[in-house]
């Protein structure tokens, strides 16, 4: 069964304190791995797509990396506005279109 597990469930950082979020996955044929950010009361906001092991993507203070079993979202020198829930999702080769399997998310809180 396809599965996505994110850790930790919650993470509290001080402003400027870099860290990483983990997304472990099992899927029969990975088409793509996605990272989203979700603010309270809002829908998920797309951040990155990764397709193959070794691939990396960057956007401002965020960098996503991918191996054959997991993905990391590295946050460098975070700011309070980075506080949100970060969601990881995978798309299996056998699924049509954009059917995604999501993890439970990591709730990030950055204190000034």
Partner 1 sequence: NAGVMQNPRHLVRRRGQEARLRCSPMKGHSHVYWYRQLPEEGLKFMVYLQKENIIDESGMPKERFSAEFPKEGPSILRIQQVVRGDSAAYFCASSTRDANNSPLHFGNGTRLTVT
Q: Which residues contact partner 1 (rule: CB under 8 A)?
A: 31-32, 34, 36, 41-46, 49, 87, 89, 95-105
- Per DSSP bridges, beta strands 106-111 and 10-14 are parallel
CA distance 61 to 80: 12
Nearer to partner 1, 36 or 66 (CB): 36
DSSP code, position 34: E
Nearer to partner 1, 20 or 104 (CB): 104
Nearer to partner 1, 34 or 78 (CB): 34
Output phi, psi for 35, to 5 deg.
Answer: -115, 135
């Amino acid at each position: 069964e396809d599965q996505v597990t994110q850790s930790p469930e919650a993470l509290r950082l001080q402003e400027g304190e870099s860290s990483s979020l983990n997304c472990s996955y099992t899927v029969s044929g990975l088409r793509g791995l996605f990272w989203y950010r979700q603010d309270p009361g809002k829908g998920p906001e797309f951040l990155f797509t990764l397709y193959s092991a070794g691939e990396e993507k960057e956007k401002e203070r965020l960098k996503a990396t991918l191996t054959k079993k997991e993905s990391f979202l590295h946050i460098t020198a975070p700011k309070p506005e980075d506080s949100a829930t970060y969601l990881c999702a995978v798309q299996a080769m056998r699924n049509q279109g954009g059917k995604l399997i999501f993890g439970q998310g990591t709730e990030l809180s950055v204190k000034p």
